[in-house]
Structure 1
Amino acid sequence: MRTESLEFLKQLVNTPSPVGHETRGLRVWLEYVRPFAEETFWDAYGNCVAVLNKGGSPRLMLAAHADEIALVVNYIDEHGFVYVRRMGGVDAAITRAQRVVIHTRNGPVKGVVGNVPPHLTKQEGEPKPPKIHELFIDIGASSRREAERLVRIGDPVTLADEFELLRGDLAIARAFDNRIGTFAVAETLRLLRESNARLEAEVCAVANVQEEVGLLGARQIAYSLKPDVAVVVDVTHATDYPTINKAQHGDVRLGKGPTLTHGGCNHPEVVARLEEVARKVRIPLQHEAMSNTSGTDTDAIFWTRGGIPSALVSLPNRYMHSPVEVIHLKDLEAIPRLLAAFAKSLKKGETFKVKLG
């Protein structure tokens, strides 16, 4: 991966961007993408847009969510221990014994999620996973009064894990879900700008907020931006490790390229165009089938304003919603190339409709 791009990815992943508190991560994204855009702006809740070829047609939205799953301070007991609620799909069982950062108005406060040693517990049968309200954070305070000088109810909490290269092109981090998406749409703008490509379409790279708690930012920005076509970038579950049932969850592997999802909110003509351009630029694709929903912003975008033709491109990700998410950098590099080729393929005023005759 290009050195500057890798540094951007590291900074993006390492910058805390808890759901509902994405400002710091969005500032990093805007700083990187501005040189490749003709215009940048953001709305009331922080959904950010970077525009290339303003006034072109059709308007293409390349969308990815900027938030990460997190915890939030919910209660402080008399001994100064901090209890939390979840924001998004946090797994309480793997959150115990983790180092965390509480993000306060006065700066970060370090803490650890307490874990009672097995020597001090008596259990009959198999141990039960903890409930989220049973987790507590030790910030080193000896009383509620001392703790309240440091943190307050509503402060977001993230794990302290950061980006590392594991081996070769494999990388690990918390919150690749979905910094890889905002990385990919920013890199798409860079590729288009640096290639001096002749575009008919207006290309809007979007970093939207609050996906992890209901696809909320995507609903806001899709409604106000009014795109003619949209491609969403997110992560998907890699299934190439022990205990995963491929008959149930599909066969998705690291290093074999991004995935393209079929069915439901994914418009067949947009999907077909993505397949076509992938063949032309020799990008390998993996394929996924969806049932009722995709679990991504595509579900919110495709029905907005009577229907926006949309498609979902995903990066295989092992151990999603954990501090040790694993991705393949070659898979990630392929996504901006695919999106750039898709943008270049759009003809002036082109629309996507299901073929009925």
Structure 2
Amino acid sequence: MPEFSVDLALLQTLTAIPGVSGREQPVAEFIQKNLPREFDCAIDGLGNLTAHLPGSGPKLVLLTHMDEVGLIVQQIKPNGFLSVERIGGISIRALPGSRMDLWTETGKLPAQIGLLPGHLDKGDPPKLESLYVDIGARSAQQAAEMGVQIGDVLTWPHQFQQTSPNRVSCKALDDRLGCFALMLLAQRVSNLQLNVDLTLAFSVQEENMLSGSLPIMRRIEPDIVIGIDGTLVFDTPDLDHQQSGIQLGCGPVLKWMDAIRGKLAAYLPDLRLSRQIRRLAINHNLPLQQEVMTGLTTAITPVPYQANGIRTAALSLPIRYHHTPIESADLDDLAVLIDLVQLVILENSL
């Protein structure tokens, strides 16, 4: 296998770009600019980016998503404070007292989520409707003069940290780390003769609807789709092995089921394809964790039901502290995932 090397500066820039659901264009432009020229890139009307590398054999799509969670300005109050609604499942518990970046039509403004002083805090859990954004404005008029409008969005500020030689932490690793994996994979396979007709798909609006990738599926009509996204880990003291034994640094994760109960969102993979991926990992001594997960689902969920039915599988990168400004991942898991997906691409029996 090729030696793994990683350009953390590229990942740092990729995660810094603001790209909440429906506003992913800057992310798509950056990814397209940094893909090998052998790939034929296109951006559809919804904003999905695809990168096609012709090959013989079945049509294979590798699917990630570009969007991140955030907030959207719902009201500008007479006193200059802002009320907000969520885009995606941003952690409400992590919001009070947080600094935010407010993205207006004219640029970025610093913002912060207010909270009670500790002297007055009764310990009640925060509710979205009680949160307010402080941008330093004294009135709605002053907020307007600063360029703030209803519909502007907020993201966590970007603070990229390498917390150990193999671990990184910042906002938006869900799923920019998956996007980064495909960018690195593209560099490996761009000059190879492939047994598949390969498309890398960087989809939109996973965090709010899951269905942003469907125009890609209708246009390409793939035979196989493999989703690559983040998944939950249970290796911290507050979660210690509650749902699974998934940990950082123990390899990527093969998904056997996920579901968000009560929301008609659940996923089951193609059995033969998933077993084939597991067999490849075993045969090549690659560490592979496995999951049956509730509480989350991903962009792959609606894909099997498109066209005449599509064979799918899902691989995940373990991420701690999902949907917070300190999402954390292990680069060893990334390395193994890229190795495994490359084996899948080069496999002759998909």
Q: Does the alignment reach a TM-score above 0.5?
A: yes
Amino acid of the structure 1 residue aligned with 2:205: Q
- 2:161 matches 1:164: yes
Query: Match of 2:339?
Result: 337
Query: Match of 1:354?
Result: none
Equivalences for 1:74-113 in 2 at 5 Å? 74-113=74-113
Residues 313/78 of structure 1: CA separation in 2 closer, same or farther (3 Å cut): same
For 2:287, which of 280, 284, 288 is the aligned residue? Answer: 284
For 1:256, which of 247, 250, 273 is the aligned residue? Answer: 250
Amino acid of the structure 1 residue aligned with 2:160: F
Query: Match of 2:47?
Result: 46
Q: Please, what is the CA RMSD of the aligned residues?
A: 1.7
Contact 2:36 2:187 in 1 (8 A): no
Contact 2:243 2:293 in 1 (8 A): no
- CA offsets 1:264-288 (integer angstroms, 9 cap, x no match): 5211111122123223443210111
Residues 245/256 of structure 1: CA separation in 2 closer, same or farther (3 Å cut): closer
Contact 1:58 1:346 in 2 (8 A): no
Consecutive unaligned residues in structure 1, runs of 5 or more: 351-357
Equivalences for 1:1-357 in 2 at 5 Å? 2-3=5-6, 5-37=7-39, 39-53=40-54, 56-119=56-119, 121=120, 123=122, 127-149=123-145, 150-193=147-190, 196-246=191-241, 248-263=242-257, 264-290=267-293, 295-347=297-349
Distance in 2 (CA, whole Å) between partners of 1:36 and 1:179 is 22
Amino acid of the structure 1 residue aligned with 2:58: P
Distance in 2 (CA, whole Å) between partners of 1:137 and 1:185 is 36
Distance in 1 (CA, whole Å) between partners of 2:170 and 2:269 is 29
Contact 1:69 1:89 in 2 (8 A): yes
What is the TM-score with the length of structure 2 in the denominator? 0.92
Distance in 2 (CA, whole Å) between partners of 1:169 and 1:180 is 14
Query: Match of 2:260?
Result: none
Contact 2:161 2:170 in 1 (8 A): yes
- CA offsets 1:20-77 (integer angstroms, 9 cap, x no match): 111111111111114351x1001101100001125x3311000001000000011011
1:82 deviates by 1.1
What is the TM-score with the length of structure 1 in the denominator? 0.90
- CA offsets 1:295-345 (integer angstroms, 9 cap, x no match): 011211111113110011001111111111111011012212211110111
- CA offsets 1:81-108 (integer angstroms, 9 cap, x no match): 1111000101222111111111111111
Residues 201/122 of structure 1: CA separation in 2 closer, same or farther (3 Å cut): closer
Contact 1:42 1:48 in 2 (8 A): yes
Contact 1:62 1:206 in 2 (8 A): yes
**Aligned positions, number:** 337
